[in-house]
A = this chain, B = another copy of it.
């Protein structure tokens, strides 16, 4: 995953053992060599087979890379590769480093545990991406994301062939990069949580070695409260300002009427463009509130003088100035939908949080764009939802070929209002793998069941890149039980799903000082076990007699739910983090009992009583409303039986 363009199975298999070795057989390329070394280390880790690269062993995986390509990954470069695996060995061929890196990941995903041990089935693969811009945006501002979180996510991105790391580095709640020129940015605007310039350079190099571009985002002129704490003179209002602690849109905005603002930005860009080698530089531009501009006599007088009739015109003026400052430094501006304005040159890129319609409009006007609408992973939607969103669908699908070529791809967005560094991996992975497949594989690759089956396998493989989407679950549950055995909580937690930004924002008055230690924070976006129960329930309904394995599994799981409440109650006594979950636990037990009853009826070929069905349907409708800021996913398999058994 992403599924390659062409996969042709061949007879045979390549067995992996301690003699396994991978070697670059084309011209020396130190970064690629290092990548091969890391690849073998990870393979050795995953399989538990020591792979020491013994001197007298012949390489089992040969890599031929025609040219190293550019120093840094570049938009639109050739990322193709071919991979041939036979019983004797494997050959990976690529025109440039990017394809070789992708091919290694494909080889790694082919590794399986066969009857005789770890092996790779013989196969011929030809592959190249559908879109050249396949990104992941991480918000390091709302909640701080330590360096190791960034790095392990770069490794996981590379594993699914994502090639752009869009790094949201400043917002109302934090300015996260060291500026030597304007040190009060981080000193006053970050609570001490920022990346040093050395660390930034380290991340850029780390990404480069994995074939990933780094596009920084400094969101202006709105979303700038954290800048204004140290430099209130940049603001439209005089200040003083404090670091934003709540979520939502702030009114604070840079002052577009003073030349000093542009002089500051010019010097700031000089420093920051030197740190980030990619030609694209993101300046946000979203959600600019007009309130302060409208209320400022100075801004209004200046606007009138410059024939800027409203806030939209003011922002357009601001963006034009910013764009010129970036061009001067050899950078291409990228911004959210709102930056689009006919006065800007055609080389800028629009990132659309509004949808394909907005993207198509930009393309028609001659602008390139990427899609992020539909890929907001912080909404905690199911992978199937994201997977169904295609950058080329809707209005974008109706474009002509030249316009279509302006749609460069997409980016998934990980906003961090309701996500700390502890659970961020679980909000990105494994669902990001499904989105990565949308960006890479042919548009025709869209079977949802196949996607889920492969995503779950990839999810386990991703653990070996270092991301903690699975590993961090247990410690979060253990925290809630204060060290007591977590099993009753885990049974409940496995049966619920977390809520995304919208419902959480409506649920309570969250700030950046709110503890993130409840089930709502630990719960996963999508329950793998509930999904497998839904599938089993559907199979039972379709063929009650012919699904003994499914029946046994459902019986076991329903029984577990039914029996769990008594244990959960004992665990939750006096626990401030568990008490809110008591009604959920009772509902889960009720669902377990209802599931068992429906299962019995199905197996006996009986129709459940109408009164029972009506009562359960009503109960399930009630249970479908979130409680304690989670969804009780467990309703779904019961609902399948309830509908099917009628």
Write the residues of chain A forming the contact surface with B, with a CB cutoff of 8 angstroms.
Answer: 17-18, 45-50, 52-54, 112-117, 191-193, 420, 422, 456-457, 460-461, 463-464, 470-471, 474-476, 478-480, 482-483, 512-517, 521, 574-577
Give the dominant DSSP class at A's interface.
loop
Q: Is the CB of B575 within 8 A of A18?
A: no
Inter-chain CA distance A517–B49, complex, in Å, is 7
Q: Is the CB of B483 within 8 A of A53?
A: no
Inter-chain CA distance A117–B470, complex, in Å, is 26
Residues of B within 8 A of A478 (CB): 460, 463
Known: A52-B191, A115-B574, A471-B475. 6 other contacts (CB 8 A): A47-B479, A48-B516, A49-B517, A113-B479, A113-B577, A463-B475
Other-chain residue from B112, B457, B514 in contact with A50 (beta carbon distance below 8 A): B514
Within the complex, the shortest CB–CB distance from A111 to chain B, in Å, comes to: 10
Find the B residue at minimum CB distance from A549.
Answer: B570
Within the complex, the shortest CB–CB distance from A213 to chain B, in Å, comes to: 27
Other-chain residue from B52, B470, B576 in contact with A474 (beta carbon distance below 8 A): B470
Determine how many copies of this chain the complex contains.
Answer: 2
Q: Is the CB of B50 within 8 A of A513?
A: yes
Residues of B within 8 A of A470 (CB): 474
Other-chain residue from B113, B422, B456, B515 in contact with A482 (beta carbon distance below 8 A): B113
Within the complex, the shortest CB–CB distance from A319 to chain B, in Å, comes to: 33
Other-chain residue from B54, B116, B576 in contact with A113 (beta carbon distance below 8 A): B576
Residues of B within 8 A of A191 (CB): 52-54
Residues of B within 8 A of A115 (CB): 574, 576
Inter-chain CA distance A17–B575, complex, in Å, is 16
Q: Is the CB of B515 within 8 A of A47?
A: yes
Other-chain residue from B116, B422, B480, B513 in contact with A52 (beta carbon distance below 8 A): B513
Inter-chain CA distance A48–B520, complex, in Å, is 12
Inter-chain CA distance A114–B576, complex, in Å, is 8
Inter-chain CA distance A18–B575, complex, in Å, is 19
Inter-chain CA distance A482–B460, complex, in Å, is 9
Interface centre among A48, A49, A482, A515 (most CB of B within 10 A): A48
Residues of B within 8 A of A476 (CB): 48
Inter-chain CA distance A47–B576, complex, in Å, is 13
Within the complex, the shortest CB–CB distance from A245 to chain B, in Å, comes to: 9
Task: Pull 9 A–B residue pairs with CB atoms less than 8 Å apart, ordered by A.
Answer: A18-B514, A48-B515, A50-B514, A52-B191, A52-B192, A53-B192, A54-B191, A460-B478, A471-B471
